[in-house]
């Protein structure tokens, strides 16, 4: 047997300081540790068994020099750290572990977050890793680094071109979340994704989110009020408050305080694909729990919408859904079953109104920019939008900065000038 393959064994004996730990087994109140130190190349390795499965871990201590005692102590540390490791996932395919992770977290995270993870696993991770048949124990930092390089060069669904930095970073974040679960459940000691490296990306110019100016907002609202009155209140609240889509769809009539002229934002609705049922969840961030001021015009429009719904309920009888209290609803009074449904309605409406495409999220940008153009302080805009930091508002939402000095929510009303129509 060559020296590079030779086991240097140290037994647990009271007479020797060079005892060898292996698996920690508690027998009759006594902890028995055994194992071996391996010379491989120019370094010492710890060889031991965990739950009956052999492990060999590098000590990163070179053989050259008088390092044997250091290597033994390092080996003891390594094996001790593995005594609680659960190796049930070691020999399963990495893609099967991802399924196990998704199943394990489904009931404890927001449906929208789970759906995003599931979409990444099925659309980006499995197409790459299934063909390679990697086992969970084979997943090292360099494997993930190689994967990120692949994504940056060939990651598009059609294989023609790579993904951008932000997209690859988000996929890396999903993988890291999966390994946080693995660490918590003692499947691994540490997260290998955190030690992987991102490839270099060419500098790209960030595209602006399409948004409307005050005149375009006015045109859209007037068109909706005349042609599709049931969606008008959704658009009005979106463009007069800057609420997120899920926050708008979660609003109930109880959330309106007519006396104090406030809209209470305390929940959100999540779920976008057809196979995901919309659920009520907490708002996106702590700062998203907020009270939004509304003026007399918006209050009047809300009261008119409430009356319209009551009239429709009387007219349609059992054909109108009276089982919920959501403000935003379909023509037949039903709540929107998923976020995609409201997207389609708004996209059709903006096209019919002769306006350029603008997403519902773009409405938030529109609100921020209109307020900023009319001199409302950035701090007030940030509070209105429910951001945790003013920096978020400045970085993402404000495309133009002016120095005019006006600071009330009524700025939107006077800018859009819908109340005199």
Q: Where do we find the tokens 């990651």?
A: 155
Distance (Å, whole) CA 188 – CA 361: 39
Compute the distance between CA of residue 272 and CA of residue 302 in angstroms, rounded to an integer: 26
Nearest alpha carbon to residue 364 among 173, 151, 261, 217: 217
Give the domains, in start order, of the chain with CATH numbers. Answer: 3-81 (no CATH), 94-195 (1.10.150.130), 214-416 (1.10.443.10)
The answer to pTM > 0.75 is no
Q: How many residues are listed for the chain in this entry? A: 421
**Angstrom distance (rounded) from CA 155 to CA 357:** 27
Contact 100, 136 (CB under 8 A): no
Per-residue pLDDT tens listing for the chain (421 residues): 444 434 444 433 322 333 343 333 323 233 344 678 888 888 999 888 766 667 788 888 998 888 888 988 888 887 777 766 677 777 889 999 999 999 999 988 888 789 899 999 999 999 999 999 999 988 999 999 999 999 999 888 877 788 988 899 999 999 999 999 998 888 888 899 999 999 988 765 556 678 999 999 999 999 999 998 889 999 999 999 999 888 999 999 999 999 999 999 988 887 655 444 567 777 666 767 889 899 999 999 999 999 999 999 999 999 999 999 999 999 999 988 777 888 899 999 999 999 999 999 999 889 988 998 888 888 888 888 888 777 777 776 655 443 333 444 667 777 777 765 5
- The DSSP element (H or E) to which 213 belongs, if any, is none
Give the whole-angstrom CA distance, residue 392 versus residue 364: 13
**b/e code 101-111 from CB counts within 10 Å (16+ = b):** bbeebeeeebb
């Amino acid at each position: 047997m060559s020296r590079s393959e030779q086991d240097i064994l140290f037994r647990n004996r009271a007479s020797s300081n060079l005892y060898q730990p292996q698996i920690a087994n508690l027998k009759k109140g006594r902890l028995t540790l055994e194992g071996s130190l391996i010379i491989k190349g120019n370094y010492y390795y710890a060889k031991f068994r965990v739950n009956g499965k052999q492990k060999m871990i590098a000590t990163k201590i070179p053989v050259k020099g008088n390092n044997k005692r250091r290597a033994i102590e390092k080996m003891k540390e390594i094996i001790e750290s593995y005594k609680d490791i659960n190796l049930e996932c070691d020999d399963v395919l990495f893609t099967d572990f991802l399924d196990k992770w998704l199943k394990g977290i489904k009931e404890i995270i927001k449906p929208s977050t789970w759906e995003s993870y599931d979409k990444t696993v099925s659309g980006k991770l499995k197409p790459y890793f299934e063909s390679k048949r990697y086992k969970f124990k084979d997943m090292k930092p360099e494997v993930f680094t190689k994967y990120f390089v692949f994504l940056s060069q060939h990651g598009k669904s059609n294989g023609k071109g790579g993904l951008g930095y932000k997209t690859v970073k988000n996929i890396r974040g999903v993988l890291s979340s999966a390994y946080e679960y693995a660490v918590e459940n003692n499947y691994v000691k540490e997260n290998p994704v955190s030690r992987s490296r991102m490839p270099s990306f060419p500098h790209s110019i960030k595209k602006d989110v399409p948004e409307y100016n005050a005149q375009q907002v006015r045109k859209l609202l007037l068109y909706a009020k005349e042609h599709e009155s049931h969606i008008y209140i959704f658009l009005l609240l979106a463009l007069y408050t800057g609420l997120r889509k899920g926050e708008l769809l979660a609003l109930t009539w109880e959330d309106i305080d007519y006396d104090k002229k406030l809209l209470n934002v305390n929940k959100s609705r999540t779920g976008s694909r057809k196979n995901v049922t919309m659920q009520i969840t907490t708002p996106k961030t702590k700062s998203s729990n907020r009270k939004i001021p509304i003026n007399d015009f918006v209050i009047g429009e809300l009261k008119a919408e409430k009356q319209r719904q009551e009239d429709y309920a009387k007219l349609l009888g059992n054909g109108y859904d009276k089982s919920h209290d959501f403000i935003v609803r379909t023509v037949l009074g039903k709540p929107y079953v998923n976020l995609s449904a409201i997207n389609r309605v708004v996209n059709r409406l903006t096209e019919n109104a002769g306006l350029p495409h603008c997403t519902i999220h773009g409405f938030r940008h529109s609100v921020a920019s209109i307020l900023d153009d009319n001199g409302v302080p950035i701090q007030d805009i940030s509070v209105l939008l429910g951001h945790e930091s003013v920096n978020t508002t400045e970085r993402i939402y404000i495309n133009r900065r002016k120095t005019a000095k006006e600071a009330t929510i009524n700025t939107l009303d006077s800018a859009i000038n819908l109340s005199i129509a």
